[in-house]
Amino acid sequence: MKRLVMRILVCLAACLAPLLLALPGHAEIVDRIVAVVNDEIITMSELEQMSRMIQSQAGANPKSREGQAIKREMLEALIDRKLAKAEAKRRGIIISDKEVDLAVEDFKKKNRLPDDAALNQALAKAGLTVKELRQQIADQIQQERLVFIALGAKKAEVPEAEVRRYYDANVREGGGGNQVHLQIINIPFPPGATAGQKEEVQKRAETVLKDLRLGGSLAEVQRKHSLTSQDLGFINQADLNPQLGELINKLRPGEVAPIQSPEGFQLVVLVGKRSGKPHSFEEVAPEIRRMLSSQAMQKQFLEWVKTLREKAHIKIML
């Protein structure tokens, strides 16, 4: 089950991975081939790009056993994607620029990005370009269309009771109306950081955290250490990464929590909290239904792609 969940996460990463807490800066990658799928290759840069999204969400160190396991799962998902793209090409499934444009606009809306400048800034922090985002979105749409055609599948129907259960667990009871005001201080590793440089960044983050916890104002600490922060304003707590949401629950307004990721450190300052009325079931039911239907289709895809693997020549060199 854990393997299936991770594979689904990777398949959905292009459209669903939150950019909210992505960190700037990433090490330059010396590219090499990590897998061959029929006459297609998968490069280290492709794998690392996916790694930055998923490992950051999982909070895993890329060199740890968990980080390496995630990387292998991502490689398996990329192999599935290569097989699916080749099959879609064989069947003449083409995604138009107009379809991708509409999907990008939807992506901006869901991530509260008001314009192209905000989109570019958010993608840069995640180590992505607009071109890469568009390609990932096109791949996702193509994959979904392929499942419909190959399996003769209709959009998965989600029972009303299942939608209601999700609403009760994650919106009404999960703090759907609670909002938190956050400010984020980013302290990234320099590109291609050595172990010694990473240790220096960690010491700097610990010093900044100590100054904040001793009562220094955010503005004073930023000036002292030549840092900037990102003010996220009030956001729905239910929209946060679950691990971050759990961490925020333990803070009181004015308190700060450190977060380490493969790219460096973040200091998350809880400026304030406020309660609001949770969205009604009628308001959010269509979006919940679409999400659950998409997850069901991904499960179908993972089962179907096994038939493509049986006929493919796959060589892994990771």
Q: What pLDDT score does 87 carry?
A: 92
Question: What residue ranges in the chain does DSSP mark as E strands?
Answer: 33-37, 40-43, 179-188, 229-236, 256-261, 264-274, 314-316
- The answer to whether residues 46 and 84 belong to one domain is yes
- The answer to whether residues 100 and 158 belong to one domain is yes
And the tokens for 176? Answer: 């759907």
Domain-located, residue 11: yes
Domain-located, residue 154: yes
- Alpha-carbon distance 267 to 208, whole Å? 9
Q: What is the largest CA-CA distance in the chain?
A: 63
- Alpha-carbon distance 34 to 75, whole Å? 8
- The answer to whether residues 147 and 14 belong to one domain is yes
Total tally of structural domains belonging to the chain: 2
Backbone dihedral region of 42: left (phi > 0), alpha (psi from -120 to 50 degrees) or beta? beta
Domain-located, residue 57: yes
**At a CB cut-off of 8 Å and minimum separation 6, what does 316 contact?**
34, 35, 75
- The answer to whether residues 210 and 244 belong to one domain is yes
- The answer to whether residues 195 and 138 belong to one domain is no
Integer CA distances (angstroms), 255 to 82, 209, 214, in order? 46, 10, 10
Domain-located, residue 310: yes
- The answer to whether residues 93 and 33 belong to one domain is yes
**At a CB cut-off of 8 Å and minimum separation 6, what does 51 contact?**
62, 70, 71, 74, 262
- The answer to whether residues 19 and 160 belong to one domain is yes
And the tokens for 95? Answer: 């995604």
In 3-state terms, the chain is what percent helix, strand and coil (to 5)? Answer: 60, 15, 25
- The answer to whether residues 183 and 236 belong to one domain is yes
Domain-located, residue 248: yes
And the tokens for 110? Answer: 């869901």
Domain-located, residue 172: no
- The answer to whether residues 12 and 41 belong to one domain is yes
- CA 3-242-269 angle, 5° bins: 140
Instruction: Print burial letters for 101-111: b (CB count within 10 Å at least 16), e (below 16).
Output: eebbeebbeeb
Cα 164 versus chain centre, distance:
26
Print the domain residue range for 264: 177-274
- The answer to whether residues 219 and 120 belong to one domain is no
Domain-located, residue 83: yes
Q: What pLDDT score does 156 carry?
A: 66
254: domain CATH number is 3.10.50.40
Q: What pLDDT score does 228 carry?
A: 78
- Alpha-carbon distance 141 to 107, whole Å? 13
Q: What pLDDT score does 23 carry?
A: 32
- The answer to whether residues 299 and 231 belong to one domain is no
54: domain CATH number is 1.10.4030.10
Q: What is the DSSP letter of 171?
A: I
- The answer to whether residues 257 and 219 belong to one domain is yes
β-bridge partners, 25 = none
For 184, counting Cβ atoms within 10 Å of its Cβ (0-12 exposed, 13-18 middle, 19+ buried), the class is: middle
> Mean pLDDT in runs of 10 for the chain (318 residues)?
38 37 39 91 84 53 63 87 90 93 88 83 76 88 84 72 84 65 86 84 90 85 83 78 79 88 85 78 86 81 87 91
Q: What pLDDT score does 11 carry?
A: 42
Beta strands 264-274; 179-188: pairing state: antiparallel
Domain-located, residue 100: yes
